[in-house]
Amino acid sequence: MQDSALIARRVGPIYGKLVASPAYIKAQGAPGTPDEIVNHQVVMRDAETWQLMDGDKIVTVRPQGRFEADNGISLVAAALDGIGVAYLPEPLVADHIYSGALVPIMTRHPIPPAGIFVVRPPGQYPSRK
């Protein structure tokens, strides 16, 4: 937020998961390394890049998607339908993983944690709103 007067404060981490439906894994297999992601269909937000951990370093991958959406709920639905691999926040997929509708993949290459931020106007006493 370099061009903004707003103040951002990190209040915690958010973790992500790479997931796919059992039907997708049965039909296409599951990628095992970051390099293999480009050989799989993915569900994604526009032309994004994915970051994955490889030991203690971060690897950037540019996957090829056949389904794009601008919200996580649509991406979860597409992953559940077996359209492709999804890179999603854990809170969106936790229940589906628990039920077996989605399977975590590439667990040896986790997604680096992101942050949850509170953004507010500047000043010592901002409005309670």
In a domain, 76, yes or no: yes
Q: Which has the closest alpha carbon to 16: 106, 125, 123, 121?
A: 106
Tally of structural domains, the chain: 1
- Answer yes or no: is 95 within a domain: yes
Token pair 């039920």 in the structure block, residue: 99
State pTM to two decimals: 0.83
Residue 89 lies in a domain: yes
CATH number of the domain at 107, please.
3.40.190.10
Domain that holds residue 109: 29-120
Does any domain span residue 12?
A: no
Within a domain: 5: no
Q: How many helices (H) and strands (E) does the chain have?
A: 3, 9
Does position 106 have pLDDT exceeding 80, yes or no?
yes
The string of pLDDT tens digits covering residues 19-78 is: 999 999 999 999 999 999 989 999 998 778 899 999 899 999 999 888 899 999 999 999
103 falls within a domain: yes
In a domain, 65, yes or no: yes
